[in-house]
Amino acid sequence: MTRSLCFSLLTLVSGDAAEWKFPCPENEIARYTAYHITEPIRIDGRLDEPAWQQAPRSPRFSDILTGQPVIHDTRASVLWDEEYLYVAYRIEEPLVRAKFTNHNDLIYQDNDVECFIAGPDAYYEFELNAFNTCYEVFFVWEDTYERSGLSKLPEFERSKLVPFNGVAFTNHRRGGRLGNFQHTFPGLKKAVHVDGTINNDADRDRGWTVELAFPWQSMKWLATDGRSLPPKEGDVWRMDFSRFNQYKEAPPAQDSGGWFWSRHGVWDSHIPECFPYIRFTTNDVSQAAVGQPAPTNASTKPEL
Ligand SMILES: [Ca+2]
Ligand SMILES: [Ca+2]
């Protein structure tokens, strides 16, 4: 192949790729399989249920901008049953700190973990600090606000919504969003367990764990395309998992302070097109290959 032909083909390919108008590399967006469970999960912040031991864990979170490694480990896992979507975070943190204690305080001004759940016409934002205090907002895309039917619901009356146009990625091709900053997710259960001492820097903490349960039936405004609640085998949702810190690792590390399962490439969480693909399977979590304890005896015959 000549260099010019090669160049032409590259131009053609990049021409096609130019259709992708988002700052996260399309081929790097994370994919995950969320397994089904039948045993109950106790929402107490402790991830000691067998299901959490068996559930696949995300890769270690990396910097939102670059995808480069960051100083502390963060992992998320997802499970589900007919009633709830379950989310867990394992957060390594040598100095656990928190300030805010009132619902809808500006938790993003604390060290926090965040979970975004997207549907075609809207998405839900959830943030939590180590005091188990949350901040939550429900955003509706303006371009489908009328067509989706969401504009007809009392919850999303125009007078209750505040225009929002993203943080740093302000030219999303769908345009702006309308946020209900008074939204509370019905039936949400949340808990934090701190493995260490909170707001006491005289010691070194191991970190904190977060356990969340979102009722499927409270996601009807995200399911405006008629998707099944709870999901069916193979259904895919876009969900995002991140962690923001008020501190940064010292230079030369290029720590933005925002750490993500799947990087966005820009300082903006509000890009559902960059969220990981979470595929739901009806297979029991006991069938998950990743996350199971490693064999303790190396001489054990491999399973057939
Ligand atoms: Ca638990
Ligand atoms: Ca401490």
Instruction: Give a yes or no: residue 217 inside a domain.
Output: yes
49: CB partners within 8 A, 6+ apart: 39, 41, 42
Number of structural domains the chain divides into: 1
* 40 alpha carbon, closest ligand: 1
Measured in Å, residue 71 CA sits from the centre of ligand 2 at 17
What is the per-residue pLDDT for 6?
44
Instruction: Give a yes or no: residue 151 inside a domain.
Output: no
Q: How far is CA 108 from the centre of its chain?
A: 14
Instruction: Give a yes or no: residue 144 inside a domain.
Output: no
Measured in Å, residue 45 CA sits from the centre of ligand 1 at 5
Read off the tokens for 134. Answer: 């949350």
Task: Give me the mean pLDDT over the 200-227 stretch.
Answer: 97
Task: Give me the mean pLDDT over the 112-127 stretch.
Answer: 98
- Mean pLDDT is lowest, of 7-11, 168-172, 242-246, 285-289, for 7-11
Between CA 233 and CA 218 the distance in angstroms is 20
Q: What is the DSSP letter of 186?
A: T
CATH, residue 38: 2.60.40.1190
Measured in Å, residue 193 CA sits from the centre of ligand 2 at 13
pLDDT above 90: percentage of residues in the chain? 88
What is the per-residue pLDDT for 290?
52
List, as one string, the DSSP characters of 10-55. Answer: HHHHHHHHTT--SSS-GGG--EEEEEE--S----SS---SHHHHHS
Structural domain range at position 67: 23-133+185-287
Measured in Å, residue 40 CA sits from the centre of ligand 1 at 9
Q: Among residues 259, 221, 205, 237, which one has the least CA distance to residue 96?
A: 205
> Across-strand partners of 209?
90, 193
Between CA 9 and CA 268 the distance in angstroms is 33
Summarised one tens digit per residue, pLDDT across range 65-97 is 999 999 999 999 999 999 999 999 999 999 999
Instruction: Give a yes or no: residue 206 inside a domain.
Output: yes
Write down the mean pLDDT value for the chain. Answer: 91
Q: Among residues 35, 107, 45, 10, which one has the least CA distance to residue 282?
A: 35
Measured in Å, residue 126 CA sits from the centre of ligand 2 at 25
Structure-model confidence comparison of residues 46 and 16, the more confident one = 46
Summarised one tens digit per residue, pLDDT across range 253-278 is 999 999 999 999 999 999 999 999 99
What is the per-residue pLDDT for 8?
43
Between CA 144 and CA 175 the distance in angstroms is 10
Number of neighbouring beta carbons within 10 Å of residue 214: 24
* Cβ proximity of 216 and 34 under 8 Å: no
Q: Is the overall model pTM greater than 0.75, yes or no?
A: yes
Instruction: Give a yes or no: residue 219 inside a domain.
Output: yes
